[in-house]
Amino acid sequence: MVAGYQAKSVWAERTFAPLASHALKTGEKVDLAIVGGGILGLSSALHAARSGLSVRVLEAANVGDRASGLNGGQVIPGLKYDPDWLLQHFGEKRGESLVRFGASLADGVFDLIARENLDVPVERAGWIQAAHSETALRAAEQRAKQWTARGVSAKLLSAVDVNRLTGARGYHGGWLDPRGGAIQPLAYTRELARVAVDAGARIAENTRITAIKRDNSEWVLTTTDGRSLHAKGVIVATNAYADALIPGLARTLLPLHSFQIATAPLSDALLASILPDGQVVSDSRRIVIYYRKGPGGRMLLGGRGSMADPTDPKAWAHLEHAFKRLYPALSNVPIEKRWYGRIAMTLDHLPHVHEPDAGLLVAAGCQGRGIGLMTGLGPRLVDYFVSRDPELLPFPPTPIRPILFHAFRNVGIGAAIAWYRLVDMLEK
């Protein structure tokens, strides 16, 4: 497991059985090599193994050490964009297929957990998007209306409803999407790995791939210590942790840190007044704050953090401040855990799929809500690799286009976050 603040998540308090990890022997050959053992890599591996392919997953750290095992565990349906926007911008056919893909994402996670009998704590009571301003409330009304028209029992919430359902103060209203819910993300990731191995995939942990080269009809992947793997196809599932493996890839992404805090266990009286029905919440701020109840009767709250790796609990002070603003009654409850991980944003707020050469597939850009997205995308990548049918990909492959002035990203992102926080604060 990783050290320092990344290891301090509430999810890592649970003990997991060691994974059946198989060290890579040089010269192995497989149908499909998958670089990255997060949700994307593992859902791809499970589907590929079930489809009869020989599969190798190469993970630089341990399964669950990165975003997939560190996240907030909020299963959020849909993409960042509303159905009407997708139809307007992508046209009837592609737009409709994106809407349908987005609509399937939360079901995909909960169905997989049930179907595979994964040992993952689940609570499916819905996702609340709480509006911090009148403008955000109007957007929530539109969103709820569009999903209602598509058969979702979305509920528009008044300010009083949001306060009753969350216990939080200061919102103008919001909407409730019943498709969403909560999972234990580290358990989900570890369990995905377990069933992928049971299905025949072989996973090598602590195995960083440093080069991928074509050799006639095959790909040759090389590890840090010079071992090699031959594969007919490769899926690169490194997301926000992309390194120099695929030239230019890391520069297509704005890697941001998402920070989280967990309180000490709350009294029964407090627990009864906060999220009594067990929903998960994200708010509408540009710098989103998200929260839910967690294991052991604690409250978890997350949001953007500094770009520098934190060395001190003060780096989480902005989240503690937000928490006290929402829940003044919890002002004296100690914060027990602080942790963080990396998320990958793209400039167009959509995930990107690339195919720099035939049989080499890359997907990245989870936009901070990748549990459903990466679970759903994995099988599509595998099916596309097998059939070459582009209709199977929700996002058509695009060239790898590095963001201009990417080297200045930390300065730019830091300033943008400060600016958006100010706008969020002033907006009514």
Ligand X SMILES: Cc1cc2nc3c(=O)[nH]c(=O)nc-3n(C[C@H](O)[C@H](O)[C@H](O)COP(=O)(O)OP(=O)(O)OC[C@H]3O[C@@H](n4cnc5c(N)ncnc54)[C@H](O)[C@@H]3O)c2cc1C
Q: What does the binding site for ligand X look like in residue numbers (CB under 6 A)?
A: 35-41, 58-61, 65-68, 70-74, 76, 208-209, 237-241, 243, 245, 258, 260, 302, 340-343, 366, 368-372, 374
- To the nearest whole angstrom, how small is the minimum distance from the Cβ of residue 158 to ligand X? 25
- To the nearest whole angstrom, how small is the minimum distance from the Cβ of residue 100 to ligand X? 19
Q: Name the strand (E) or helix (H) holding 115.
A: helix 83-115
- To the nearest whole angstrom, how small is the minimum distance from the Cβ of residue 130 to ligand X? 15
Residue 374's CB is within 10 A of a number of other CB atoms, namely: 27
- To the nearest whole angstrom, how small is the minimum distance from the Cβ of residue 75 to ligand X? 6
Amino acid at 78: G
- To the nearest whole angstrom, how small is the minimum distance from the Cβ of residue 6 to ligand X? 9
* Closest CB to ligand X among residues 58, 231: 58
Angle CA 279–343–302, to nearest 5: 40
- Angstrom distance (rounded) from CA 339 to CA 316: 9
The encoded tokens of residue 206 equal 């602590």
Which has the closest alpha carbon to 374: 35, 39, 36? 39
- Angstrom distance (rounded) from CA 260 to CA 266: 17
Which has the closest alpha carbon to 309: 342, 274, 356, 261? 342
Residue in this structure with the two tokens 């200061």, named with its chain if needed: 170
- Angstrom distance (rounded) from CA 44 to CA 114: 18
Query: What is residue 4's DSSP assignment?
Result: G
* Closest CB to ligand X among residues 165, 246: 246
- To the nearest whole angstrom, how small is the minimum distance from the Cβ of residue 399 to ligand X? 20
* Closest CB to ligand X among residues 1, 149: 1
* Closest CB to ligand X among residues 134, 309: 309
Our separate counts of H helices and E strands in the chain read: 10, 19
- Angstrom distance (rounded) from CA 410 to CA 10: 28
* Closest CB to ligand X among residues 176, 237: 237
- To the nearest whole angstrom, how small is the minimum distance from the Cβ of residue 215 to ligand X? 19
* Closest CB to ligand X among residues 206, 329: 206
* Closest CB to ligand X among residues 245, 417: 245
